Structure 1
Amino acid sequence: MTFDRFLNILQAASGLRKLTLDDCQFRSASSGEKPQKRSPVYLRKLVSLDITTSDSFRLPEILWMLRAPKATSVNIQVLSSSPYNSIFGLLPEDPTTCLPLLAKATVAELYVREGTCEIIATHGSRSVRLALLHLGSSLEKYLERGMADMTRIFSAAPVTRIVIAGNHDTTSLIDWALLFESSPLLEELVVAGSGQRVEEMWEGLGYAQPPGGQAADICCPRLRSVTIIGNEDIGAIDATAKLFDAMLTALTHRQERGCKLGELVLDLRHWGLPHAECYGRYYENLSKVVDHVTYSDSDADADNH
């Protein structure tokens, strides 16, 4: 079946509510036949759209030609992706035209784990999941690449909650700064996984330029809650002096400018920095610049403050 014939079938199925495409392969048009120019197919009653494909070159065309304005669940998976692929690179030139929820999302999530890189956009009860599968064991660069994808995908969305989970060994201050600059309405941030460069997140928060670039302002002025999770289920984030120094600097800077953080939740592994030193040197100081600090120790019991 040619792709054009497939679209004709969909166009005739005006009452379709669920569509699943499982690694569909479409034949090219007959030799010498020019591809037909046509308008996108609107599936106005479609609620659920699931696409799984190994044809990364065809995916942008499929997404561009299918419009489901009322869909509450969109799940798109690309199998056997090239190591050079990114989620944004597999989308049409203007992703929000075919997936309008991307421009409305209030929650943006990025997960890189178990051979998968996925971005999830949520607005109310509606969601879009975009995933690269079968990535193998070399996932280090995918978190960095995924953050760049998020920055571009959600640049116009009113995102208030961001979740980033994966190995943070390759993410940089610039990666975080660009993400924060594209999320001016951010209220809640969750960072999970593993890696030794989570302090880059705090440095990026202070480095990011607010709209207008005025020195007296700060980026993400509505940010009220930050959670850092590094436990044995998804990896480990060590409590290090470098991490705490960056954290304290950023939060002190925000408090001095009238944007004191409301809640800081830490679940870190205290290897290399004794728990007593963490409490005596850092937790008490953090409590002065954050309304409520909650921490747990993976190696020993700790009180909550």
Structure 2
Amino acid sequence: MTKRKNLSRLLKCYLLITVASFLYGIGTAIFSDPNNIAPGGFTGVAIVLNRIVPFGTGAWFLILNIPILVLGTWKFGWHFICSTLYATGMISFFTDFIARYGKAFIVHDMVLASVFGGLMAGVSMAIIFQQGATSGGSDIIIKLLRLKYPHIKTGGLLFITDIFVIFFATLVIKDIPASLYAFITVFINGIALDKVLYGSDEAKLLFIISDRHASITRRLLKELDLGVTHVYGQGAFSGKDKKVIMCVVRMRISPQAQEIVKEEDPEAFMIITSATEIYGEGYKSYFDDKI
């Protein structure tokens, strides 16, 4: 049963990588490449090199990734390298295949190309990252940087590296409008990536101080099925002991939790702050290997 379960998980992983690679190929071959939009990363470098030596954007993407994949093997192991190698190969294949046989679907509107090119790339990269792989290239470099700077989100790091690629593309292709649209592509790419990769984990952290802590706690547990923790504190001025309610609430039910507090005690002292990543039961596992 365990072997069958592992095989099923592996097949699902590679199926999702295949679908994501196809979406990535569409974003590059239909939207970005035909409009000289070099959207950062190794994809952007491959688009530029293909203008210098017409060898196929997908082929250049694969060539550029070879030394980086070797580095990834040394640092992250064989599971990572096999899935990343597969993703890189599929992206290379789909990009050149769609560029050759999908010319009738090419979008020449620069606004649509920049928006949907970034959206396709961001969503597909997030799906690949969720499978414990990357799309190669700068993604592996970013995974290395995340080991040293885990507090910085992937989308932010991608944006920084992509800026350098856009400047490089501007110098080679000499298409200023396309370079400006590339910034839009990169921006949307980063937003889409972070939303898919982290969005479901974004939540609010509530600290509630109230004399009616028992009724508030009871309703939070019963009506919203939240995990609630009591933290014992003491008022510095009054010297009175207080029970502080602490709970994490997903974004979509945060207004309901706040309403419960207001209904039970309009005088309650409530602090609400953002919780961008949460590990534990009901949220992410400590063993999830996101980039």
TM-score by length of 1: 0.24
TM-score by length of 2: 0.24
Question: Per residue, is there more helix in 1 or in 2?
Answer: 2
Q: Which has the higher contact order (CA 8 A, sep 6+)?
A: 2
Structure with greater Cα Rg:
2
Question: Per residue, is there more strand in 1 or in 2?
Answer: 1
